[in-house]
Amino acid sequence: MMNDIQVDTPALLIDRKILKQNITSMQEYADRKGVNLRPHTKTHKMPKLAKMQMEAGAAGITVAKVGEAEVMAEAGIRDIFIANQIIGRSKVGRIRKLSESVSISFGVDSIYSVKEIDEVFEGADEKANVMIEIEVGEKRSGIIQPDDFTALLDEIKNSRNVSFKGVFSHDGHTYKAQTTDELKELYDDSSARTLHFAGLARNHGMECEVVSIGSTPPFVLGFDIPEGITEIRPGTYILMDGSQANVLGHNDTCAATILTTIISKPTDERVITDVGAKGITQQHRKVGLTATKGLGKVVGFDDVHVDSVFDEHAIIYDKNFSDEVEIGEKVEIIMNHICPVSNLYEKAYIVENGEVVDEAAVSARGKLQ
């Protein structure tokens, strides 16, 4: 299925109808389950899309970096959670500055961090609001041992300028589940572990205002949310991608694609397009429901994938595909992982019925600090 949208390629496209459906569907799910939705905007890094999520009913947004928080705050969003450990006095100082105009909280998992925050926030009008991250199986950051958790609670309690807001976790290891049943088991275990630590905090005299969990697969599959969870933080759901689409078994919710031009056909089966690693990345998932074939799916063609990429070239080997396309024609590719792809583009073109109807600046791209 060739595309005649008149924009230079490679370009990031967003289908407006699917975008709105995805936003509405997740908000309705959160509302039915009685929890707040705080979408992770690192997926798109676009204030325009974040505002759409807020207008649909989101309680606030999640970001990964202080720089992303600054961009979103400048755009007028007033409730932000940085789901990450922020280490470094200069970064903590920037959060202190943000706290003067927005409601902002951020993650901790060490006494070192709390001590640093306490020092930087000395004399501030408001205390720093922190959430303790709980490691639930992803083998990334977060508290693992209960003793370390209570020691961290004590450090916060004894500080002058740090306030405990709650706990959060990320069950990213659910992406590797081989079946939906296994995915649910991992999700249930992660939720239970998060709630267990919330209970430890309560027993320690420090009630959790927020108990936050998040990753896209359990929520697009409609899993129940255990009592005691107050907030969910999915990110990818708004645009989706090849790996998340594999969980559902279809591409119908994929709002984002890369528009790319056929620039060469060196052999009967080799087709070259103008998007390389700098526009699509080399990411793929190797195991589980989210496992991907190749480096991106070509829209409208059965089982045609990007086989490899150079910096500026995508390589596709498929004789039937080659027979159907000509140099100069454009095709769309569903990327394997949308979050890093968004970071590669200055703007996205919002399209409807084959025409560009709007644009969205990727204002938080490159905000890694």
Per-residue pLDDT tens digits for 332-352: 999 999 999 999 999 999 999
Per-residue pLDDT tens digits for 212-239: 999 999 999 999 999 999 999 999 999 9
Helix (H) or strand (E) holding 330: strand 330-335
Percentage, residues of the chain above pLDDT 90: 98
CA distance 304 to 219: 29
The domains of the chain are located at: 16-236, 242-361
Query: What does each C-alpha distance from 193 to 55, 223, 239, 310 come to in angstroms?
Result: 32, 17, 29, 42
| pLDDT value of position 4 | 79
Mean pLDDT of 198-206: 98
For residue 1, is pLDDT > 70? no
Q: What is the mean pLDDT of the chain?
A: 97
Percentage, residues of the chain above pLDDT 70: 99
For residue 296, is pLDDT > 60? yes
CA distance 42 to 49: 11
CA distance 59 to 19: 19
Per-residue pLDDT tens digits for 100-154: 999 999 999 999 999 999 999 999 999 999 999 999 999 999 999 999 999 999 9
Residue type, 50: A
| pLDDT value of position 2 | 61
Sequence-ordered alpha helix ranges (H) in 159-250: 180-203, 216-220, 242-248
Which class is domain 242-361? mainly beta
For residue 275, is pLDDT > 80? yes
Mean pLDDT of 26-43: 98
CA distance 269 to 290: 28
Mean pLDDT of 79-87: 98
**Could you tell me the pTM of the whole model?**
0.97
Mean pLDDT of 174-188: 96
SS3 323: helix
Question: In the CATH scheme, what architecture does the domain 16-236 have?
Answer: Alpha-Beta Barrel (3.20)
CA distance 193 to 190: 5
